[in-house]
Amino acid sequence: MFFSSFLMLWALDKSLASEASFNAVATVLSSPVAKLISWGIASVLTYHALAGIKHLVMDAGIGETMRGGVLGARTVFVLAAAAAVLWGVMIW
């Protein structure tokens, strides 16, 4: 996630420089490899956000038992997998 932020900032910087550089970035990002990388970044960030929400809920005192923790982790995995599929549909 850390290194992907540099990639996204580079793409943003180049796309805002001029119309020609915007078109060049758009061409690069439309390649299958770039789409795969974009899908991976989106999937990882979605999992990270869902896990963070799970921890916030646990900080509120919900699901602090072993059983609750396992249920929360499985829920996050299922939601993250569904989100990854959704990201794949939207990107491709």
pLDDT band, very low/low/confident/very high, at 1 (cuts 50, 70, 90): confident
Q: What separation in angstroms does the CA of 49 have from each of 1, 6, 79?
A: 12, 19, 11
Buried residues in 64-87 as b, exposed as e (16+ CB within 10 A) = eeeeeeeebeeebeebbeebbeeb
The structural domains of the chain, with segments of one domain joined by +, span 1-30, 31-92
Quick check: pTM over 0.75?
yes
Class assignment of domain 31-92?
A: mainly alpha
Q: 3-class SS at 61?
A: coil
Q: How far apart are the first and last CA of the chain?
A: 21
Tens of pLDDT, residue by residue over 19-59, are 999 999 999 999 999 999 999 999 999 999 999 999 999 99
* Cα 7-12-16 angle, rounded to 5 deg: 150
